[in-house]
Amino acid sequence: MAWKRLIIFLFFLSLSAEAEEFKLDKLVSLNKPWGSTFVDNDHLLVTEQSGSIKLVNIKTKEINIIKHNLRFLEYGQGGLLDIIYQDNIVWVSYSENRGDWKTSTSIAKGEFNNSEIKFENIFQANPPIDSGYHFGSRLAIKGKYLFASAGERGEGMIAQDASKHPGSIIRINLDGSIPKDNPKFLDKPKWLPEIYQIGVRNPQGLTLSPFDDKIYISNHGAKGGDWFGEVKKGENYGWKILGWGGTNYNGTKIGPKWKPGFTKAIHYWVPSIATSAITIYKGNEFKEWNGSALITSLKDMSLRKLDFSDIENVKEDVIFKNQIGRIRDIQVHSVTGKIYFLSQDALWEMQKK
């Protein structure tokens, strides 16, 4: 029995050691926040699904509401979605009201102003669909390109139809124009010009790695089949031919986890953890995490760290669970390396103790 007591002691000791590694502080309360982006070292721009854009001072905790002209519709999972800032310009993805309850995952661009931003659309995912499901949608900038994820709106096989935007990864120039080397102009003449990759379901995580300059994505599967993978030009992740290990919500099979001819994800979760935003960590606060992917979760309300330096042997650690609620977004401070989360009702800061 002594060895059993030793195992129990070591187990609780490890939990205690992990608990001592960091602390989580609630900075401000928010109303269904969705996306966030740093404007400078002290200020974070935040979208709320219900329609507000807020500028939060992470030091003083002051909140400034920014007016805007976005014609959004909060419908099911829709509303204001992701936001990204660079060089005094702001891009926002949102569920655009296209009339008669039809909406699209759209992207607008505007010059930053701390009192009011006047946006102009630079992309609309067509066709507009009467559905409150699966808008995506994350944004990432790589050089002169803006990448965006567009969910398949609950329409399943539409993700295999490259003549329609839903269920795809989009790549456009920062001004909304179309890159001349997108798949349509190379070897995919039937694809829409903005489409970079197809076959995704509800991709709520998208990020640029500062280490290998690649775009990575997380995809929210059905009943199982969440995954983390790389965005690859002209390829197909397979939804709804593939089920990625999951099943329909009624328990029936969707399709195989993977088969040749489709992009293979780096890591899968079965059953689903409801993957949300992701980032590739770079910073000094948790420098031992540099190069690892940080994955946030809605369903089990966790932060997970993936060491994918060897994609044949991905190592996953659960950093915490059930501490701040459903996690919608994650940002890393470029100077301090502290981590900032949006939960369903607040902004949180994570640092070492």
CA–CA separation, 166 and 127 (whole Å)? 8
What mean pLDDT comes out for the span 63-83? 97
Check if the beta carbon of residue 321 is closer than 8 Å to that of residue 301.
yes
Asked if residue 309 has pLDDT above 60, the reply is yes
Pairing of strands 103-111, 120-124: antiparallel
In a domain, 8, yes or no: no
Asked if residue 14 has pLDDT above 50, the reply is no
| Token pair listed for 254 | 């969707």
CA–CA separation, 341 and 146 (whole Å)? 23
Measured in whole angstroms, the distance separating CA 122 from the mean position of its chain's CA atoms is 20
Q: Is 300 left (phi over 0), alpha (psi -120 to 50) or beta?
A: alpha
Asked if residue 16 has pLDDT above 50, the reply is no
**Residue 251: per-residue pLDDT:** 87
In a domain, 4, yes or no: no
In a domain, 127, yes or no: yes
Residue 281: half-sphere exposure toward Cβ, Cα within 13 Å: 24
Q: Which helix (H) or strand (E) holds 6?
A: helix 2-19
In a domain, 6, yes or no: no
Asked if residue 193 has pLDDT above 90, the reply is yes
Pick the closest to residue 200 from 159, 141, 245, 147 (CA basis): 159
CA–CA separation, 328 and 348 (whole Å)? 11
**Residue 13: per-residue pLDDT:** 41
**Residue 224: per-residue pLDDT:** 87
What is the chain's length? 353
In a domain, 3, yes or no: no
> Residue 47's CB: how many other CB atoms inside 10 A?
29
pLDDT digits (tens, 9 = 90+) for 238-274: 999 999 999 988 889 999 999 999 999 999 999 999 9
| Token pair listed for 47 | 């979208």
Asked if residue 220 has pLDDT above 50, the reply is yes
What mean pLDDT comes out for the span 278-297? 98
What mean pLDDT comes out for the span 297-308? 97
pLDDT digits (tens, 9 = 90+) for 109-132: 999 999 999 999 999 999 999 999
Phi, psi of 257 (to 5 degrees): -65, -40
Check if the beta carbon of residue 136 is closer than 8 Å to that of residue 105.
yes
Q: Which helix (H) or strand (E) holds 19?
A: helix 2-19
Asked if residue 17 has pLDDT above 70, the reply is no
Q: How confident is the model at residue 141 (pLDDT cuts 50, 70, 90)?
A: very high
In the DSSP assignment, the letter for residue 179 is -
Domain count along the chain = 1
Asked if residue 72 has pLDDT above 90, the reply is yes
Among the residues of 88-247, which ranges form H helices? Answer: 183-186
* ω into 95 cis (within 30 of 0): no
Query: Is 156 exposed, middle or buried (CB count within 10 Å of its CB: 0-12, 13-18, 19+)?
Result: middle
In a domain, 10, yes or no: no
In a domain, 13, yes or no: no
CATH code: domain of residue 186: 2.120.10.30
**Mean pLDDT estimate for the chain:** 94
Domain interval for residue 337: 25-352
Q: How confident is the model at residue 320 (pLDDT cuts 50, 70, 90)?
A: very high
Phi, psi of 316 (to 5 degrees): -115, 135
What mean pLDDT comes out for the span 160-174? 98
Check if the beta carbon of residue 265 is closer than 8 Å to that of residue 231.
no
Annotate 140-150 with b (16+ C-beta within 10 A) or e (fewer): bbeeebbbbbb
**Residue 20: per-residue pLDDT:** 52
**Residue 30: per-residue pLDDT:** 98
DSSP per residue over 137-152, as a string?
EEEEEETTEEEEEE--
Q: Which residue has the higher pLDDT, 9 or 277?
A: 277
- The residue assigned the tokens 């986890």 is 257
Pick the closest to residue 95 from 136, 66, 54 (CA basis): 136
Asked if residue 312 has pLDDT above 80, the reply is yes
| Token pair listed for 309 | 């330096």
3-state SS, residue 343: strand
In a domain, 16, yes or no: no
Q: How confident is the model at residue 2 (pLDDT cuts 50, 70, 90)?
A: low
Q: How confident is the model at residue 5 (pLDDT cuts 50, 70, 90)?
A: low
CA–CA separation, 79 and 133 (whole Å)? 11
Annotate 269-297 with b (16+ C-beta within 10 A) or e (fewer): bbebbbbbbbbbbbbebbeebeebbbbbb
